[in-house]
Amino acid sequence: MRAILLILALLGATVGGAGAASAGAPLHRSEWQAFVTRFVLPEGRVSDTGNKGISHSEGQGYGMVMATAYGDRETFDRLWRWTAANLQVRGDHLFAWKWEPGPAAATDLNSASDGDILIAWGLLRAAGTWNDEGYAAAALAILDDVRDRLVVETSLGRVLLPGPEGFVRDGSVVLNPSYWVFPALEAFARRHDGDLWRAVSDSGRALIRRARFGEAGLPPDWVELAGTGMRLPSGFETVFGFNAIRVPLYAIWGGLDDADALNRPVISWWSGHDGAPYIPATVDLATNARAPYGLSAGGRAVSVLTRFRGDALPLLPSLGDADDYYSATLILLTKIAFSERFMR
């Protein structure tokens, strides 16, 4: 049965217009080319079109990971050159998280650990794809600084701070569950420090199991760990939203043996809106207020993948003209995750 499904997926529909869907998730080159044309500027900067055209380490890392999946070394090298020259300016191997086109400079030198992780993972993938250990050397230098500056010991074990500054409070730490990029952590365990990255992966799974808030018990974008207790942190959004939507994606992509259990509250939440006009894009976990607008096409792609059980091909949205940077990124990442998790 699986062989038949994979053959059908490989024969799946090509890219459609806005709102179209394709069976399975073959990696259509035309979708990647459309992404590059619309969001990757000639110098190698990814423009976040939904956020005033800024660039950030997350976007550069996503672009690098996607370029390896599509075998596009020319675009990968453009992305990496720009990233190293414009974001790796802190004095260590981490990356300023935010670059603005107005001043044409990095305007917030604090790093974001998911961006650091995605860039390092992209480099390791490139080393394997194109047999170039120069990429791997750059990745390992980044990971040394992630280990030294962003991993701290807590009651959950070794956890990943969202950045070097601003997340350690008096007796507590603020964490972002979506920064645990599980397939990347698996790759790091093979190439860098196995004990460290397996411990970080374990703490992320423990965090997701326990950090469940609101009526639906959903994972939050941000959570504060104080001793053994957890709460929604002051000064941060209290939503299951644009960050936490990546939690189920990474659990599936990482092939976690407990992915279904980790994702069960999200699966129930999304399934509970089948037949409704839309699935709310966010829900406030402190008040249970729901966004008056639905998931983007990228969010719908993650929802479809999260509920995939292998009995029928998932109908994943295709990249359309209405998709901004983040929606487009989620569409392509979901298809790459499906391809790498279920089609190999």
CB atoms within 10 A of CB 33: 14
Across 23-32, 303-312, 329-338, the highest mean pLDDT is recorded for: 329-338
Q: What is the pLDDT of residue 182?
A: 98
Domains of the chain: residue spans and CATH: 40-150 (no CATH), 155-294 (1.50.10.10)
- pLDDT tens, position by position, 194-232: 999 999 999 999 999 999 999 999 999 999 999 999 999
> How far is it, in rounded angstroms, from Cα 5 to Cα 139?
36
Element (H, E) at 23: strand 21-23
Query: What's the token pair of residue 107?
Result: 């305007």
Report CA dihedral (98, 94, 60, 192) to the nearest 10 degrees. Answer: -160
157 dihedral zone (left: phi>0; alpha: psi -120 to 50; beta): left
Note if 58 is an active site residue. yes
Which of 58, 145, 221, 284 is labelled catalytic?
A: 58
pLDDT band of residue 22 (cuts 50, 70, 90) is low
Say if strands 151-154 and 157-160 run parallel, antiparallel, or are unpaired: antiparallel
Confidence of residue 169 (pLDDT cuts 50, 70, 90): very high
* 321 burial level (CB within 10 Å; 0-12, 13-18, 19+): exposed
Q: What confidence tier does 23 reach under pLDDT thresholds 50, 70, 90?
A: low
Q: What percent of the chain has pLDDT over 70?
A: 93
In whole angstroms, give the CA distance from residue 250 to residue 177.
Answer: 10
Report pLDDT digits (tens) over 93-115. Answer: 999 999 999 999 999 999 999 99
**Reported confidence tier of residue 311, pLDDT bands at 50, 70, 90:** confident
pTM of the prediction? Answer: 0.93
Please check the confidence at residue 6 and state whether its pLDDT lies above 70: no
Is the pLDDT at 15 greater than 90, yes or no?
no
Neighbours of 11 (CB within 10 A): 10
Q: Where does the pLDDT of residue 20 fall: very low under 50, low under 70, confident under 90, or very high at 90 and above?
A: low
| Confidence band of 16 (pLDDT split at 50, 70, 90) | very low
Question: Is residue 121 a contact partner of residue 181, using CB atoms and an 8 Å limit?
Answer: yes
The band of 313, judged by pLDDT with boundaries at 50, 70 and 90, is: confident
How does the average pLDDT of the chain come out, rounded?
A: 93
Using CA atoms, how far apart are residues 141 and 115, in angstroms rounded to an integer? 15
Task: State the pairing for strand pair 168-169/172-175.
Answer: antiparallel
Q: Taking a C-beta distance cutoff of 8 angstroms, is the pair 294, 281 a contact? A: yes
Q: Encode pLDDT of 248-258 as tens digits.
A: 999 999 999 99
Residue 114 annotated in active site: yes
Mean of the pLDDT values across residues 71-83? Answer: 98
Q: Is the pLDDT of residue 13 over 50?
A: no
- First vs last Cα of the chain: how many Å apart? 15
In angstroms, rounded to a whole number, what is the distance separating the alpha carbons of residues 344 and 328?
Answer: 24
Q: Which helix (H) or strand (E) holds 63?
A: helix 57-69
Q: Which amino acid is at 141?
A: A
pLDDT of residue 187: 98
Classify 214 in phi/psi space as left (phi over 0), alpha (psi -120 to 50) or beta.
Answer: left
Q: What is the mean pLDDT of residues 141-146?
A: 98
Catalytic-labelled residue, pool 72, 114, 221, 323? 114
